[in-house]
Structure 1
Amino acid sequence: MTTLDDALAAALYEAGDASLDTGASLLAADPGLDAALRQRGEELIRGAWERGWQPADLLRCVRRDLTEPHLRLLTSLIRSETAKYGELPPRWSAQLGELDGEDWRADRFSYATAVLELYRLLVRLPSIEPVGPVPGQPFLAPTGYEPRMLTRIRALLAKAEATTYPEEAEALTAKAQELMSRHSVDEASLAPKSTTPAAFRIGVDAPYETAKAILLDAVASANRCRAVWNSSLGFSTVVGFEGDLESVELLYTSLLVQGTAAMTRAEGAQRAGGRRRTKTFRQSFLMSYAGRLGERLASAAQSVPAPDDLLPVLATREIAVAAHAEELFPRTTTTRVRGVTDEAGWRHGRAAADNAQVAASRGLLGRSS
């Protein structure tokens, strides 16, 4: 075995800080190993791709378990590994576009320690459900929102989230929903019969991740998608057709922003009155907010029928989504949700859900007249 092999064997496959220090000492003492060490890192990144991980997943994991230097090391490795390929699979370019930060350097021992800590995390990542091809594999370009329409929808939602005037927010989000509904109906009528569902992952981060997962599940269900939450890894996988997945992502993000802002305002009023139990208030608020929005979305989806000529198409698409979700997740379990303990938080959360502008569900409005 080479010195590099000895260092990696000690750091990555043995437990404890002592083995990590041993590996870092071996690497720090030999600058000639730097290039080979980086190559091993790129190989670990490629191995993560092949086990189902994508750039955003790795970034989320490192943010949760390690520190900023590790994140910058990871970013550099992702950039260099993905630069080896020509065209990248769908959603990868957007994820890579969110990478930021400069390369990180320190004294040789500290740098080697951080590299080995990152590699230890990468080598221990489990295999997860693949949500698309990895770089280098053939893929079909997705069908979804046209770029100009997506830009318009995002701009409308951003204005709705920023305004302090409820009437303006309602008008903006109603217009965004109208655009989404019109596009989704058109897409369903024009999509080829061979079109198959896709999937993507979205972070469901602490704190209050259970409430966030419930909210995402409600949004997904209203848009004829399926959401499966992986609580241990901090994300949900949403299965559906591309246009519907865009709706889920936009609506969930918008409602989470609106809910967080409403929670902050309600909590401020509570604290001004002398209240201090902010954690239980927030937990109860978000659980109530998610539950009530689920009721609103489900009711709206059931009350607005699709055009008769599209019913067979939509039914076929729903069956395809269910089948693809079952293929990805043949074994799922239910999770018991903790009871809500704060009445004020519950009441404020329900009121905020009633006031939230449901702005992105393509199934909640028919065609505009």
Structure 2
Amino acid sequence: MAQGKTDGLLAEVVQRVVAAAPEALDHALDGGASVLAASADQWPEVSRALLGFAERSVGRCWSAGWRPADLVRVARRELGAVHLALAVDLIAAEGRRHPAATLDRRWHEQLRELPAEVWWSGDEAFLGAFAGRHRLDRFALATAALELLRAWALLPPITPVGPVPGQSAPRASAPVAGEPRMLGRIRALLAKAESTDFPEEAEALTGKAQQLMAQHSIDEALIAAGAPSANTPAAVRIGVDNPYEGPKTMLLDAVAAANRCRVVWAKEFGFCTVIGFDADLDAVELLYTSLLVQATSAMHRAGSRKHRDGAPRTKAFRQSFLVAYAARIRERLAAATEQATSDAAAGRHLREDGTAELVAPDERLLPVLKARAEAVDDAVGKMFPKLVSQRVRVSDGEGWAAGRAAADRAALHGRSGAIER
């Protein structure tokens, strides 16, 4: 079959699968996969056609506000491991269209973390090589590809959090050669906090990391104060999945608030959008990831024991544990940030090595921080003009007490609060 006919056949099959009602979906998938996988001789043409079709499909998702990590998250939440691997490869194939300089820093980071790279020798060989890697027959792989393309095709437009590749100059264009030394030290402190078996040590390490984050944020704010173009908030999306997505979102909100950012939860898609300035967004991603590891570990240790009456821990206990943990973290983080800001205003500057030095107080600091907070609020209002609040219910008092105690031992400060959606 000529390549042009194969392209048309694939487009027709995908259209039928996308348009299929839920009760007719299995029939459409079986029929479409049978057509695509019918002939071994035709398989290389199907492979080339699939990559070409996926390139256009993925490009439409970029235009609709989605980013690489988002599309992979859809595959993980709605489908399976094969779909996840296929999603990464199709994103890598589409990425061949874009020179590195047309991608912003966070886009590069997402591609690197997936990791999305072209490992196959030619487009006509892709499906055969993928099937060999994952031990799939042609029918199973064709079915997975159709399921993935359907899931992506049904995604609605969402609020963008950065430029589409090639459409505008990136904020921090091409990949940077490294990260600021302060972030490297923060990352090292958090890694130690996650690995230690001593709660007091984890608390001290995490608290020191937050102090350095706050100082880094202050330094960046003062540097940017003289450059209006640098005083524009940005946004990132952070995945928040079940179980216990509500308390996890509360933890993210606590970290974001302490780092002068705002959080908007899109529960139906399994992510939160965090709005703030670049240095603060970096801090939020680092600290939230670490605290989630610490919280989950502490929850499992507490949940492995029984209630006072001998009954096993329940889901309500774990839910209440994480809500309390997030609440206590909010309090402690807020206190750490307030102390760092007060010290900076008084001329006490925290060096990258964690030691302090006296410098001349900068009278611009408090007005600059206030202006940045207003800019973040304004950005949230423009990006999400319609927000509602949701409160997370606590139904297990023992879980609440255990969660606060764990937060006291392992990391920062919090109060129960509303999460924007």
Q: Mark yes or no: TM-score above 0.5.
A: yes
Q: Deviations over 1:179-209 (max 9, x none)?
A: 3233222111111232211000001110000
Q: Secondary structure of the equivalent of 1:232?
A: helix
CA gap of 1:169–1:226, structure 2 versus 1, over 3 A, is same
CA gap of 1:292–1:180, structure 2 versus 1, over 3 A, is closer
Q: Deviations over 1:266-305 (max 9, x none)?
A: 1223279843233121111011111222233345545653
Q: Deviations over 1:130-179 (max 9, x none)?
A: 00012113213179994332222111110112112244334433432333
State how far apart, in whole Å, the 2-side matches of 1:57 and 1:315 are.
Answer: 32
State how far apart, in whole Å, the 2-side matches of 1:357 and 1:182 are.
Answer: 18
Unaligned runs of 5+ in 2: 120-128, 346-362, 414-421
1:349 equivalent in alignment to 2:420: no
Moved more, 116-125 or 98-107: 98-107
Is the contact between residue 21 and residue 113 of structure 1 (CA under 8 Å) also seen in structure 2? Answer: yes
Instruction: Indicate the residue corresponding to 1:243 in structure 2.
Output: 279
State how far apart, in whole Å, the 1-side matches of 2:208 and 2:330 are.
Answer: 21
1:310 equivalent in alignment to 2:345: no
CA gap of 1:115–1:190, structure 2 versus 1, over 3 A, is same
1:85 equivalent in alignment to 2:98: yes
Q: Secondary structure of the equivalent of 2:268?
A: coil
Instruction: Indicate the residue corresponding to 1:3 in structure 2.
Output: 9
CA gap of 1:220–1:175, structure 2 versus 1, over 3 A, is closer
Q: Secondary structure of the equivalent of 1:227?
A: strand
Q: Secondary structure of the equivalent of 2:93?
A: helix
Select 1:254's aligned residue among 290, 295, 298: 290
Q: Would you say how many aligned residue pairs link Structure 1 and Structure 2?
A: 358
Map 1:1-369 to 2 at 5 A: 2-15=8-21, 16-29=25-38, 31=42, 32-87=45-100, 88-100=103-115, 104-105=130-131, 106-137=136-167, 138-141=169-172, 146-191=179-224, 192-195=227-230, 196-270=232-306, 274-302=310-338, 305=342, 307=345, 308-337=363-392, 339-358=393-412
CA gap of 1:328–1:298, structure 2 versus 1, over 3 A, is same
For 2:152, the aligned partner's letter is L
1:4 is displaced (CA, Å) by 2.6
Is the contact between residue 200 and residue 410 of structure 2 (CA under 8 Å) also seen in structure 1? Answer: no
Is the contact between residue 190 and residue 290 of structure 2 (CA under 8 Å) also seen in structure 1? Answer: yes
For 1:22, the aligned partner's letter is G
Q: Deviations over 1:230-276 (max 9, x none)?
A: 01100000000011111111221222122112111212232798432
Q: Secondary structure of the equivalent of 2:237?
A: strand
Is the contact between residue 223 and residue 247 of structure 1 (CA under 8 Å) also seen in structure 2? Answer: yes
Q: Deviations over 1:304-349 (max 9, x none)?
A: 5352431111111111111111111111112243x32212111101
Instruction: Indicate the residue corresponding to 1:363 in structure 2.
Output: none
Is the contact between residue 20 and residue 28 of structure 2 (CA under 8 Å) also seen in structure 1? Answer: yes
State how far apart, in whole Å, the 2-side matches of 1:213 and 1:185 are.
Answer: 25
Is the contact between residue 197 and residue 239 of structure 1 (CA under 8 Å) also seen in structure 2? Answer: yes
Is the contact between residue 193 and residue 206 of structure 2 (CA under 8 Å) also seen in structure 1? Answer: yes
Q: Percent identity?
A: 53
Is the contact between residue 323 and residue 400 of structure 2 (CA under 8 Å) also seen in structure 1? Answer: yes
Is the contact between residue 214 and residue 259 of structure 2 (CA under 8 Å) also seen in structure 1? Answer: no
1:11 is displaced (CA, Å) by 1.5
For 1:6, the aligned partner's letter is E
